[in-house]
Amino acid sequence: MNAAPADPAAHSPGEMLTTPPMLPHAGWSGAKLIFFIALVLAAHLAFIFIFSSKKTIVPRTASDGPQLQLADAANELIALDDPTLFALPHANDFATAFWQHPPVIPPPPFDWTEAPRYLPVATQKLGAVFNEFMQTNPPVKFALNFKPPPPFATFLPATISPPPSSTLQITGELAQRPWLNPFSLPSLPLDDVIAASRVQVLVDAAGNVVSTVLLPAENSAEALGHADEADQRALAFARQVRFAPAEQVTLGELIFNWHSVPTATTNSTATP
């Protein structure tokens, strides 16, 4: 600890001032400090070499990265910047590929041959031989009759005789199956000829009729001759028909040919 300087006024003039002795400097010297720094640096380098990895650094390959490609003058994207591409005829528009293309004429070879020259045809003598033949061999003359008179036809009056009794006719695939319960159909009292009633039936494997459909008339004349009573009776009789058993369902048609009797005869017969 350093002593405070003495006040000169506190001493007498005859006394002599004395300086206190300097104490040695406390702390590290410069040599020690340099040695310590070198030691720390050497330890740091030793740790680096000991704990560092010895693998060779392989650069990683870049993938899916952006690519830059320079476009030349022939690129389609560069051609879109042309303002006349769609407004005016252009060498690169859609119509140029098939329109106004001059034909390519190959140059003739140096070593060539001339096309053959045929002899001229004497057009004045064409057909002279045929004319001479026709003068000596004239054709036989005959009158052309493109529209001959129509032949006269003899028309015979059509006679329609009604059936002597009412009958049942079976057509289609159903005709191959035997009819087990044949019955006679009655005559209907009507003063006119009755058109046949056609009923389409569906027969199951056991032989029973499971469906009956009254078919419409085939022409206008048959439609005028239909009678509602006859059609209803045809449907009723069609449901009573029985056929022989078969392996599968059969579709057919029943045609009822009705016999009609005058109503006056039926009334006189019923009166007694």
Q: 174-232: per-residue pLDDT in tens?
A: 888 888 888 888 888 887 778 888 899 989 988 888 889 888 877 776 777 777 888 88
Contact (CB, 8 A) for 257 and 162: no
Residue 197 located in a structural domain: yes
Residue 241 located in a structural domain: yes
For the record, the structure tokens of 135 come out as: 């003068």
CA–CA separation, 127 and 114 (whole Å): 32
Residue 125 confidence class, pLDDT cut points 50, 70, 90: confident
Residue 145 located in a structural domain: no
CA–CA separation, 134 and 111 (whole Å): 53
Containing structural domain, residue 190:
179-265
Does residue 66 have a pLDDT over 80?
no
Phi, psi of 250 (to 5 degrees): -120, 140
For the record, the structure tokens of 26 come out as: 């406390």
CA–CA separation, 183 and 166 (whole Å): 11
Residue 45 located in a structural domain: no
Q: What is the DSSP letter of 36?
A: H
Instruction: Please count the structural domains in the chain.
Output: 1
What's the pLDDT score for residue 8? 47
User: 17-44: string of b/e by CB count within 10 Å (b at 16+)?
Assistant: eeeeeeeeeeeeeeeeeeeeeeeeeeee
Tell me which of 54-68, 108-122, 165-179, 223-237 is least confident.
54-68
Residue 248 located in a structural domain: yes
Residue 52 located in a structural domain: no
Residue 270 located in a structural domain: no
Q: What is the DSSP string of 153-194?
A: -PPPPP--PPPSS-EEEEEEGGGGSPBSS--PPPPEE-SSPP
Average pLDDT, the chain: 76
What's the pLDDT score for residue 114? 81
Residue 62 located in a structural domain: no
Residue 58 CA: distances (Å) to CA of 48, 52, 61: 21, 16, 9
